[in-house]
Structure 1
Amino acid sequence: MSRHPEVKWAERVDKVFITIQLPDAKSVKVHLEPAGALIFSATAGAENHEYELKLDLHDKVNVEESKINVGVRNIFCVVEKVEKAWWSKLLRGDAKPPHYIKVDWDKWVDEDEDTPGGGEMDFGGMDFSKFGDMGGFGQSPPMGDDEDDDLGDSDDEAAEEKKAGEATSKA
């Protein structure tokens, strides 16, 4: 009796990412049909269990442009769509997807975030060159010359001593 490997998927407007998670798979066979069928078989494990899978994808696919990579831990497929449109689901039909098919949240992008520019944010034409002196994440504020560093330290120490003196005189 064959088993089903865990499958993760994510989508873009022009392609679907399908990851078949099966470590140490042997005798891997992956066949993609233009009508949108992905057929997979392999053996894995110490006892060479048989794994099989047939996915009737939501729509037609471009077999020539699609890519399949068999790795040590998984089989990764980039399935190119014939029509560049979002699918309402991965599989054809109205049935609930099988329990072994899950969303790949690491690769998932929502429809409104899938832009040709790679998801870059639109800042409405703001000129960030004017913010150069403010410092930012991972940036230090502008510093003076090395000569000023010694003076800056003594000024800070004097201010701290003055505050400490005021605090004791009020007590």
Structure 2
Amino acid sequence: MSRHPEVKWAEREDKVFLTVMLPDAKNPKVNLGPEGTFTFSATGGAGDLEYELKLDLCDKVNVEESKINYGLRSIFCVLVKEQKKWWNKLLKEGKPPHYVKVDWDKWADEDDDTSAAEPDLGGMDFSKFGDMGGMGGMGGMGGMEGMGGMEGLMGGMGGMGGMGGPEEFEDDSDDDELEASKPEAAKTDDKPAAAEKTEAA
């Protein structure tokens, strides 16, 4: 028996963001039809359980312009609407099931400035839905090349630039020794005072 993964969604006037929350998904297969049919299947979790999902979206979508990103914890989709208009709901009919939730991190209202509210999608390697071929939806991952090679990966780590060479570490260790010796000096100052008292007695 298959299970349903948790799905988060948010929209803009021209697109819908759909995130399927399934860490370490194996053999994910994602399909998007122009009429707005979104299907997903994969195995994941302890015991490699089967997960399936079918959503009849509120309106038509542009399959060729829509994009997908396969991450370690989720599958993130940008579904481009056929017509620029607010749907105000995800599904064509009925109330959304319990596993479909609003993604408040990406949500924007109609009166919000959509350019300011656009989520940060930097660093994601997207492939188009129309170009997935027979790879079970994995065709657009691109490996290390999609991240600009090792240089691109290391360049995005931030905050690591100031580590420097061995000289810096030697300087740091000298500072630690000086700091550690300060309390010992304070203790030695107390000892002579105590010695003087015993001599005077």
Normalising by structure 2, we get a TM-score of 0.57
Q: Hey, what does 2:89 align to over in structure 1? A: 89
Q: Which amino acid aligns with 1:68?
A: I
Q: Hey, what does 2:111 align to over in structure 1? A: 112
Of Structure 1 and Structure 2, which has the larger fraction of its residues in strand? 1
User: 2:82 matched to 1:98?
Assistant: no
Tell me by how many angstroms 1:49 deviates: 0.2
Q: Which runs of 5+ in 2 are unaligned?
A: 118-201
Instruction: Measure, in 1, the Cα distance between the counterparts of 2:2 and 2:8.
Output: 19
Tell me by how many angstroms 1:26 deviates: 0.2
Tell me by how many angstroms 1:88 deviates: 2.6
Aligned to 2:116, the other structure's residue is in SS state coil
Runs of 4+ off more than 2 Å: none
Q: Hey, what does 1:2 align to over in structure 2? A: 2
Checking the alignment, whether the CA contact within 8 Å between 1:11 and 1:17 is kept in structure 2 is: yes
Checking the alignment, whether the CA contact within 8 Å between 1:66 and 1:78 is kept in structure 2 is: yes
**CA RMSD, 1 decimal:** 1.0
Q: Hey, what does 1:152 align to over in structure 2? A: none
Tell me by how many angstroms 1:118 deviates: 2.9
Q: Hey, what does 1:163 align to over in structure 2? A: none
Instruction: Measure, in 1, the Cα distance between the counterparts of 2:20 and 2:46.
Output: 19
Tell me by how many angstroms 1:2 deviates: 0.2
Q: Hey, what does 2:12 align to over in structure 1? A: 12
Of Structure 1 and Structure 2, which has the larger fraction of its residues in helix? 2
Checking the alignment, whether the CA contact within 8 Å between 1:13 and 1:114 is kept in structure 2 is: no
Checking the alignment, whether the CA contact within 8 Å between 1:67 and 1:79 is kept in structure 2 is: yes
% same residue: 70
Normalising by structure 1, we get a TM-score of 0.67
Q: Which amino acid aligns with 2:109?
A: D
Q: Hey, what does 2:164 align to over in structure 1? A: none
Checking the alignment, whether the CA contact within 8 Å between 1:27 and 1:43 is kept in structure 2 is: yes
